[in-house]
């Protein structure tokens, strides 16, 4: 079975652009993995009064959507989540990493899921 690991900016961008990422990923027959650190980042954004209202609302909506759908949580032991995603992708070369982060994309050798044309998810 295919597996797709989601990072924070991917989730937030899907929310902003009204993309049903769970539905689209399920349609390709993939399991969704979300690191617990990503969930914590979303919670931090949703609770941070220094964030603008739209960012907080997007993070809150993302958490509600995640809560209502099936996914596999993953706890990275290290600190910086991007480094852990790179490491994980090297250890699991068949995994698809859903990210829009250009630095992360450069350092990942496995397949990536991106947003194409503001509405479509595409694996490259």
Domains of the chain: total: 1
Domain that holds residue 21: 2-123
Q: Label residue 4 by pLDDT band (50, 70, 90).
A: very high
Per-residue pLDDT at 110: 84
Q: How far apart are CA 26 and CA 66, in angstroms?
A: 13
Q: How far apart are CA 91 and CA 74, in angstroms?
A: 14
Q: Is the pLDDT of residue 11 over 90?
A: yes
Q: Express each pLDDT in 71-124 by its tens digit.
A: 999 999 877 899 999 999 999 999 999 999 999 999 998 899 988 887 889 898
Structure-token pair, residue 46: 């949703």
- Cβ atoms of 105 and 83 closer than 8 Å: no
Backbone angles phi, psi at 120, to 5 degrees: -110, 140
Kindly state the average pLDDT of the residues 2-22.
Answer: 96
Q: How far apart are CA 108 and CA 47, in angstroms?
A: 31
Kindly report the pTM of this predicted structure.
Answer: 0.93
Q: Express each pLDDT in 29-59 by its tens digit.
A: 999 999 999 999 999 999 998 989 999 999 9
Tell the burial category of 6 from Cβ atoms under 10 Å away from its Cβ (0-12, 13-18, 19+): buried
Q: Is the pLDDT of residue 1 over 90?
A: no
Domain of 97, CATH number, reads 3.40.50.1010
**Helix ranges (DSSP H) in 17-120:** 21-27, 36-47, 53-68, 81-91, 102-107
């Amino acid at each position: 079975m295919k597996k797709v690991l989601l990072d924070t900016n991917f989730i937030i961008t899907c929310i902003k652009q009204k993309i049903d990422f769970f539905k689209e990923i399920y349609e390709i027959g993939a399991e969704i993995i979300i690191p617990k650190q990503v969930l914590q980042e979303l919670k931090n954004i949703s609770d941070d009064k220094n964030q603008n209202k739209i960012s907080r609302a997007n993070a809150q909506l993302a958490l509600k959507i995640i809560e209502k759908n099936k996914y596999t949580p993953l706890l990275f032991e290290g600190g910086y989540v991007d480094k852990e995603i790179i490491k994980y992708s090297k250890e699991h070369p068949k995994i698809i990493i859903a990210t829009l982060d250009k630095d992360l994309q450069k350092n990942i050798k496995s397949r990536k899921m991106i947003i194409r044309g503001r509405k479509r998810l595409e694996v490259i």
